[in-house]
Amino acid sequence: MNTNALALCDLYMVSDASLLDLPAIRRLEQACFPKDAYDFFTLLNLALSRNVLRLKAMVDNRLVGYLAGEVRDYDATGWVVTLGVLPSHTGCGIGHALLASAERAMKARITYVKLTVRRSNVQAIRLYDHCGYKWVSTIRGYYHDGEDGLIMEKNLTLT
């Protein structure tokens, strides 16, 4: 790893995201998910929904990671709606830290955390595997371009 990469992995802070972060979150979505970025109105809905947990990772006052997770009390399930880390900051533990923070925040209210990931997103699947998520099903043609979505879940009572 070169020195610049080490500098990018230095100090990051995970905290609650707010409505004021929306422009930076939109830019992050576009950088992380060129095919699937949520539009502004979807992100605004996530920012305003009471049952959505919103976390951000910051480095030097710059948003480099974001997670939105929906808590569904009616079936004791949480869903990671979106999790993105800027490509320049992947491999630094930010995705893991965002997931762990979300799980801690939701654990009192839910039993399972679920998410959907593109079958081809090997890097994300590796992260989820490492964090204890297991593949449970496949949704054929889930993404707008026809790619399958893998449903993964983690039982929080086992951690």
The Cα–Cα gap between 147 and 55 comes to 27
pLDDT at 6: 47
pLDDT at 53: 96
Among the listed residues 24, 16, 124, the one whose alpha carbon sits nearest the alpha carbon of residue 64: 24
pLDDT at 159: 74
The domains of the chain, with CATH numbers, are: 3-158 (3.40.630.30)
**How many helices (H) does the chain have, and how many strands (E)?**
5, 7
Contact by Cβ (8 Å): 95, 125: no
pLDDT at 73: 85
Question: Exposed (0-12), middle (13-18) or buried (19+): which is 91, by Cβ within 10 Å?
Answer: middle
In the numeric block, which tokens belong to residue 31?
Answer: 């950088």
The Cα–Cα gap between 90 and 143 comes to 23
pLDDT at 11: 86
pLDDT at 158: 84
The ranges of the chain with pLDDT < 70 are: 1-10
Contact by Cβ (8 Å): 56, 85: no
pLDDT at 20: 96
Bridge partners of 135, per DSSP, are: 152
The Cα–Cα gap between 6 and 16 comes to 25
Contact by Cβ (8 Å): 32, 85: yes
In the numeric block, which tokens belong to residue 21?
Answer: 């972060």
Per-residue pLDDT tens over the stretch 70-90: 999 888 899 999 999 999 999
